[in-house]
Each structure stands twice: as C-alpha cells, then as structure tokens.
A = this chain, B = another copy of it.
Amino acid sequence: MDLADLQSTMRTTYFERDSARGRDATFRWLTEEVGELAKAMRTGDRENLQHEFGDVLAWLLSLANVEGVQLEAAIAPYAKGCPRCGASPCGCPVPG
C-alpha cells in the first residue's frame, strides 16, 4: 500500500471535517487513539490491537493533512536505514 496514496485517500475522505474540527481537536483525537492503543496492548485482544494501530495511523494522517505535511516525505529519512548512522541494522549508541 502506497503511503502517499493512502494520505490522499484520507484527505478525500476526511479533510473537510478534519479542517473544520481544526488542528488542536485533531491532535486531541490522535492522543485519544494513542490511549486506546495502550489499552489494547494491555488486554491482549489481537484483533482490537490491530484495529487501534490502524486508528492511530489514520489520525496521524488526518493531522498531517490538516498541517499540510506529507507523511511520505516525513518518513523518507528512515527508508534506507537509520537516519543518524546510515546503517541497517542501526549501529548508533543505545540511548537511555
């Protein structure tokens, strides 16, 4: 699945209501879904876990549309390995 196509579909589907809701309320929805993902990690329901990962990505795409950011361009530095050390597997010092 192409990430740019997905963002375009999300724009067609939701941009009118995303932009009417605004950036702050859209960010709030994103964090609500992050909370639901946390709960799904706790309950062990695999189907629900997958569903919540999808909802987090959907709201991240909605927020990116509201902010005018292309998620494909944003993630591009990771497409060929670690953006810091350039290696895959990453060879950076392990952070805390």
Contact = CB atoms under 8 A, between A and B. Distances in A.
Contact of A50 (B15, B73, B82): B73
A51 B67 CA distance: 13
Given A67-B41, A69-B49, A72-B1, A90 B17 contact: yes
Interface string A60-93: 1001100101111111111111100001111000
Interface residues of A, number: 52
Most B C-beta atoms less than 10 A away, residue of A6, A12, A56 = A56
Interface of A: 1-4, 6, 9-10, 12-17, 23, 27, 30-31, 34, 37-38, 41, 49-51, 53-54, 56-58, 60, 63-64, 67, 69-82, 87-90, 94
